[in-house]
Chain A
């Protein structure tokens, strides 16, 4: 592979690469605000300026400058090399680039940083971005001197509501236009633009519009400073107290890679944001997926139920065992959960085999909105996994209801809260006796004889097969809430109580509970790493 020289380091590049892109791929940091690997090049922040050494035998391009000499008390004529933005300059073989090693580059970066902070308000204590803010990081790394301006800073609109999800603060904004470019290029809805120039420059909405497309929260994540803040996360948590688990979004069958940010002290999830994966989701996630974490804490079943009343897990298991052993195997119907991980479904399938269950159905959420960016119509993360485990299509839900009414089934052993259907919550009410493992209440748990509380996807590690057929593993973040437990554990307890061998853990993808990294330590931070 062809290489160029950045400071003292040889860096490989692909044809068409810019300096910044090649360095970013090689893991070498050139400071930048406006450049994002998933967006077009704007080259407006000037933070990534580098010095380009001229080819051998050619003179460097120089600019005349005046330098103030405090000793002589006058300006002195000098020359300095013309610096180029690394995000825009394409790389050639053997090119020599100076970044850290150039005094001119250091000066230029300090000047850029001083200018960016010139009118910046003293907002860090009340800003959600504090702790993961580029302005903070780069000030210490590249300037660390006080600004020289003595004037009152320019004041601009604060806390402008851009839409149902985003609030904009023009004073904090450095006008890098990442959000503008994101709306235009990725979300295909150019609802943001710029007005005015210089000091007065700010981001505005298109007249008569709100920032209300399906990817609005991404504008907050691409924002390198605290100008755009999410209504959902605003004033909720401090990022340095959060830890990140590498998870998979369970909002739809796309299976976007995500970080789940949680506070280990109160076991609360605060944020769900994309994790870079070029083959699945690139750098992005949709609003629905990023807000999907709210289901972890809302409307959960946290205690076992027997005949609709709270009960201990052991009494619920006793009741389930009595129901299962009192029903002939041909009269039991199994329901796998398209919202649940491969391990959970495999465990239930194993128990079904021991009991001799042959009729398998599927639970899950109904179809929803789809687009050609990321959103998939199937709102379940593991429909493909269920099919892979069964080796065939599950039977249609209507057949189960008919079978229960006709008496060909007497008992349902289900994982999930509602039978899957194209629209709505699926058939309800469901007749017949039921043993249900579920996180949330739904038609299946309504009137069920036994309900066992299942934990959510961030409370146990697992893997999910997305619509492309890729099996992706997801780490555990918090401990199971209330009395809930991972479905495979509940099934294991049922197996033990029935005297069957325990289900085998599936081979392959990681099911370990891995130590998760602090928010700032994660090497690939999706939006903010770039």
Chain B
């Protein structure tokens, strides 16, 4: 090694002074979901950030225009594949709004319980993955263990752990299983217990707190102008929750709180999710007491709901009903409607246009993650390079929802 030329004047050294461009993703360990960040660095400070979605594009909205209304359910499963049940229910409610039908109480509670279980799984994934990316691997595994239990419930009910395709216009694919109430009653308290343990590991950890608190602050005004909804908006102090503001199903009848943050930083977004898991557990507990033990799950409307298989094989009316719904699809009356529910990441809206045929004329989705992800640029600009990881993790971007 040559000796340094100690006589050299510092002003004579020509250092590179142009900002450094750095690509993160689309396949980077910290970008769960295919997204690409092009950051312009000055030292370790991010001067500009270009968030590029579109690496997961299937043309969801266009695909929907091909089959019939029922055939959209598998597609919405894959919009938010972390909480597909919430999407199933959201789309079913949108179709039912256009048809002017309301599902029986048993189905409403069933949808609420399954939906809140999905929300718990969604928030556990978001919080756990965020902790893992910051180096805390153990809490992640604990949270995944609980998610597995929830997925076991889904497997028992729907036959699928992840993409259930379980919603139907006018009801659900199947009624609750006999052990449903008992199984959920056992899983939820256990989930809350493990969540508490995982949370203690994190919120007493100096490093974890230092990397979250005061990082990635979003003001309430900016959050609203970006179209943020859900946990990220509530962390910025706006108590907007579709379940409270515009109750659907039976959310008006159950007691739960809407947690809000004070600072709008990564820590608040993390804690809002943790607290929402507890609120979801409260909702589930109440619903388990309210759900009727028997009674119909599907509406009594032959235009919408498939007949019993026994009837299809033995009566001409059943055969005709089955044939019409399967071959031509449910005839949703011509018109348009916007229907919105609280998804895992915020307001999940469906704007449907029907021309009266069995095929959707237009399905427009308002996926919460699309709007939330658009705020990432603002969060990380001016922050340190290392802050990208907690900021991105706290938004819980779902690639499937950014299919635009």
- A interface vs B, CB < 8 Å? 117, 120-125, 130-131, 135-136, 139-140, 144-147, 240
Contact = CB atoms under 8 A, between A and B. Distances in A.
B315 A144 contact: no
A122 B302 contact: no
Nearest to B301: A144
Nearest to B325: A140
Given A140-B302, A144-B303, A146-B311, A120 B316 contact: yes
Nearest to B302: A144
B316 A122 contact: yes
Given A140-B302, A140-B303, A144-B303, A124 B323 contact: yes
- With a 10 A CB-CB cut-off, give which of B316, B319, B327, B328 has the most chain A CB atoms: B316
Nearest to B328: A240
Given A140-B303, A144-B303, A146-B311, A122 B327 contact: no
16 contacts: A117-B316, A122-B319, A125-B319, A131-B323, A136-B320, A139-B320, A139-B321, A140-B302, A140-B303, A140-B321, A140-B324, A144-B302, A144-B321, A145-B302, A240-B327, A240-B328
A145 B321 CA distance: 10
B358 to A, nearest CB: 10
Interface residues of B, number: 17
Contacts of A130: 323
Given A121-B316, A136-B320, A136-B324, 6 more contacts: A122-B315, A122-B316, A123-B316, A136-B323, A140-B321, A144-B301
A399 to B, nearest CB: 59
Given A136-B324, A140-B302, A117 B317 contact: yes
Given A140-B303, A144-B302, A144-B303, A135 B327 contact: no
A136 B327 CA distance: 12
Nearest to B324: A140
B313 A122 contact: yes
Contacts of B313: 122
The secondary structure that dominates the A interface is loop
Contacts of A117: 316-317
Contacts, number: 45
B69 to A, nearest CB: 15
B323 A147 contact: no
B314 interface: yes
- With a 10 A CB-CB cut-off, give which of A123, A136, A145 has the most chain B CB atoms: A136
A93 B319 CA distance: 44
A135 B320 CA distance: 8
A139 to B, nearest CB: 5
A109 to B, nearest CB: 15
Nearest to A113: B317
Interface in B304-345: 311, 313-321, 323-324, 327-328
Nearest to B316: A120
Contact of B316 (A124, A144, A145): A124
Nearest to A114: B317
A135 B317 CA distance: 10
A170 to B, nearest CB: 15
A252 to B, nearest CB: 36
Nearest to A130: B323
The 6 A-B residue pairs with the shortest CB-CB distance in the complex, in nearest-first order: A144-B302, A120-B316, A124-B319, A136-B320, A139-B320, A146-B317
A152 B313 CA distance: 15
Contacts of B319: 122, 124-125
B52 to A, nearest CB: 37
A136 B316 CA distance: 9
Nearest to B317: A146
Contact of B317 (A131, A147, A240): A147
Contacts of A145: 302, 317
A513 B321 CA distance: 37
Nearest to B313: A122
Contacts of A139: 317, 320-321
Nearest to A239: B327
Contacts of B315: 122, 146-147
A140 B320 contact: yes
Interface in B36-84: none
A102 to B, nearest CB: 21
A42 to B, nearest CB: 24
A146 B322 CA distance: 13
Contact of A122 (B303, B314, B324): B314
